Amino acid sequence: MTTDHETTRIVRSWLEEGVTALPDRVLDAVLDQLPTTPQRRAWWPARRLPDVNNALKLTVAATAIVAISIVGVGLVGGRPDLGVGGPAASAEPTPTLPPSPSTTSSPSPSPTARPAAREIDVVAGPWRISGTVPAGFTSFDNFAFWDGTADAPDGHGIAFWLVRNAYRDPCASETTAFDPPIGPSVDDLVDALAAREGGIAGPVEPVTVAGYEGKRVTIQVPEDVSVSSCDGRQYRSWVEPDGGHRFHQGPGQVDELLVIGDPTGRERLVIDLFSFPATPPDHVAEIRAVVDGLEIILTEPATPVP
Amino acid sequence: MDQHLVRAAQRGDEQAFASLAVAIGDRLHAVAHRILRDIDLAEDATQQALLAIWRDLPTLRDPARFNAWSYRLLVNACYDEGRRSRAWRPNLRLLPADEPAAPDVFGRVADRDQLDRAFRRISIDHRAVVVLHHYLGMPLDEVAETVGVPAGTARSRLFHAMRGLRAALEADARSIVREVAR
């Protein structure tokens, strides 16, 4: 009979055996790749206009105000649900979202969309995603793509996420991670988002993206949240397997999430269509249209449960 | 770990990162090898982890936590390599017998083989806990944080993994007794 103590001793001795030195060629390969491996900034960090002078800041701010006004005028009457129209617009905490395409691969609703010009090829864990985004979209670390800016007042884009866990209170992320962590299925994440502070905006709907079934769920950062008072000065919805956070770019931001998974329920991908209430509807339609053209492959089987 | 180096690397200083990589490379590789039990996969996982460390360093808020954080990325890389190996290889290549670092302290080659086979049968989640705790000597609460699970889950994984390894050793002992009795 082997005692626990003896087993531990044997296992520890066994673990002491084996290689310990990393071959130089591996280290060299890593160092060779540094110049072409961009470092990931804290997600869309608070480096808004960090390096520009005050005159430029004022110019940009003035331009933004004019843009908002133009958009607001253009939308009055046509899209009252967007809540646009400047600072005096609705301060209701209830989300005001543009309508979503119904469910499965809907036809592109974007008559004004720019020609799709940029191919994307994204790797997210076992998922490989390819497609195109409109001309002019910027890539952030090849997992998020946006049009000019991701920030308020009208930033919009698309990102691909793996989610390891979520937060009950996105403003208090250091102490409110779900414990035990959420499971790996689509419903595990949707349920967690629904259970958190602020919940979800609108109904949860079935969706199929590139042949993978899942759920569409929308979340919105409250308009009245003071992000600077949140933990880490960030309003965080979830954490990735590598410890990176999805934090949002400001009050009011809307994230239409297409959460898809494999049939075993053990692999999950989140397609995040983010925008703001002031984002023009045709731009929202544009990022939705990106989804219609995606090809998604799950390259590896789910990890077997021991 | 030199926190000045970590901070410099966070700002994109490749020389500082090279120093960090040299300092931690052997240790990461040793851990990857013990989790994956395959030299090629371990090299790939270490390379992947070092690049992930470089890529994600700016998101590390507390440089004092660099070591634990880097092990987390390594364990994630091991998961990825483990999955990849299952997807693309019909079987893991069996390890050539490593030269023992010391005299055979636990007595029988059979034990080693039995342990190796038993270890390969448990999930990488469980292997990671065993290696972090029994090889690196990490306390279980730190193991839990590193692999991103509650402490109770880490304890449970360690318990089940060690129970499996113990059963493998006992099965091996029984087979030897039967051989002797014939």
Task: Report the candidate in A259, A271, A269 with the shortest Cα–Cα distance to residue A298.
Answer: A269
Choose among A19, A29, A41: nearest Cβ to B98: A19
Check residue B174 and give its pLDDT: 58
Alpha-carbon gap, residue A269 to A261, rounded angstroms: 6
Q: Which of residues 109-138 of A touch B (CB under 8 A)?
A: 125-126
For an interface test with A, which of B22, B56, B61 has the most A Cβ atoms less than 10 Å from its Cβ? B56
Token couple for A110:
């974007």
The answer to whether residue B93 scores a pLDDT higher than 80 is no
Query: pLDDT-based confidence at A20, cuts 50/70/90?
Result: confident
User: In Å, what is the CA distance from A254 to each residue of A163, A219, B44?
Assistant: 18, 6, 38
- Nearest-CA residue of chain B relative to A38? B55
Q: Which residue has the tokens 């060690």?
A: B162
| Whether the Cβ atoms of residue B48 and residue B81 lie closer than 8 Å to each other | yes
pLDDT at B124 over 50: yes
Are B135 and A16 inside 8 Å of each other by CB?
A: yes
Q: Greater confidence, A239 or A77?
A: A239
pLDDT digits (tens, 9 = 90+) for A149-162: 788 888 999 999 99
Which pLDDT score is estimated for A166? Answer: 95
Neighbour count for residue A124 (Cβ, 10 Å)? 19
**Cross-chain Cβ contact B130/A9 below 8 Å:** no
Q: Region B39-65: what's the mean pLDDT?
A: 89
B28-39 average pLDDT score = 94
Tell me the count of A-B CB pairs closer than 8 A: 161
Report the alpha-carbon distance of residue A83 to residue B42 in Å, rounded: 54
Residues in chain A: 306
Task: Select the highest-mean-pLDDT range: A69-73, B92-96, B109-113.
Answer: B109-113
Lowest mean pLDDT among A120-129, A182-191, B171-180: B171-180
Q: Which residue has the higher pLDDT, A250 or A52?
A: A250
> Residues of B with CB below 8 A from A303's CB?
79, 82-83, 123-124
A268 CB-near residues (< 8 Å, 6+ apart) = A162, A163, A184, A185, A186, A188, A189, A259, A260, A261, A262
Mean predicted confidence (pLDDT) in B26-46: 94
B42 contact partners, CB below 8 Å, separation of at least 6: A19, B29, B32, B33, B35, B36, B81
Residue-averaged pLDDT of chain B = 80
In this prediction, residues B101-113 reach a mean pLDDT of 55
Rounded to a whole number, what is the distance in Å from the CA of A247 to chain B's nearest CA?
Answer: 12
For range A53-81, the mean pLDDT = 42
Are B26 and A20 within 8 A, CB to CB? yes
Instruction: Indicate if the pLDDT at residue B105 is higher than 60.
Output: no
The predicted pLDDT at position A236 comes to: 92
Question: Which chain B residues are closer than 8 Å to A141 by Cβ?
Answer: 55
Taking the C-alpha atoms of residue A157 and residue A146, their distance in angstroms, rounded to an integer, is 4
Q: How confident is the model at residue B157 (pLDDT cuts 50, 70, 90)?
A: very high
Question: CA angle, corner A222, sides to A221 and A223, nearest 5?
Answer: 115
**What percentage of chain A has pLDDT greater than the value 90?**
42
pLDDT higher than threshold 70 for residue A221: yes
Confidence class for position A300, pLDDT limits 50, 70, 90: low
pLDDT tops 90 at residue A125:
no
* Average pLDDT estimate for A85-105: 35
**Residue A218, phi then psi, degrees to nearest 5:** -115, 135
Question: Is any Cβ of chain B less than 8 angstroms from the Cβ of A180?
Answer: yes
Based on its alpha-carbon atoms, the radius of gyration of chain B, rounded to whole angstroms, reads 18
Per-residue model confidence as pLDDT tens digits over A260-286: 998 888 889 999 999 999 999 999 999
| Lowest-pLDDT choice from A30-39, A51-60, A82-91, B22-31 | A82-91
CA distances from A22 to A13, B9, B50, B76, B96 (A): 21, 20, 12, 18, 17
Per-residue pLDDT, averaged over A202-226, amounts to 94
A chain contacts of residue B166, beta-carbon cutoff 8 Å: 2, 4, 7
* Res. A47: pLDDT tops 70: no
Contact call for A13 and B55, based on CB within 8 A: no
The Cα angle at residue A201 between residues A172 and A136, in degrees rounded to 5: 90
Q: By the 8 A CB rule, do A18 and B34 touch?
A: yes
Please tell me the predicted confidence (pLDDT) of residue A255: 96
Kindly calculate the radius of gyration of chain A based on its CA atoms and give it in whole angstroms. 22
Q: Point out the least confidently predicted range of A195-199, B77-81, B100-104.
A: B100-104
Q: What is the mean pLDDT of chain A?
A: 76
- Over residues B28-48, the mean pLDDT reads 94
Task: Identify all chain B residues contacting A299, using CB atoms and an 8 Å cutoff.
Answer: 87
Give the 3-state secondary structure of residue B113: helix
Q: Interior CA angle at A136 toward A135 and A137, to 5°?
A: 95
* Mean pLDDT, residues B93-102 taken together: 41
Q: CA dist A88 to A43, A68, A189, B3, Å? A: 30, 12, 35, 48
Please give the DSSP secondary-structure letter assigned to residue A13: H
**If you measure CA to CA, which chain A residue comes closest to B167?**
A2
Confidence of residue A85 (pLDDT cuts 50, 70, 90): very low
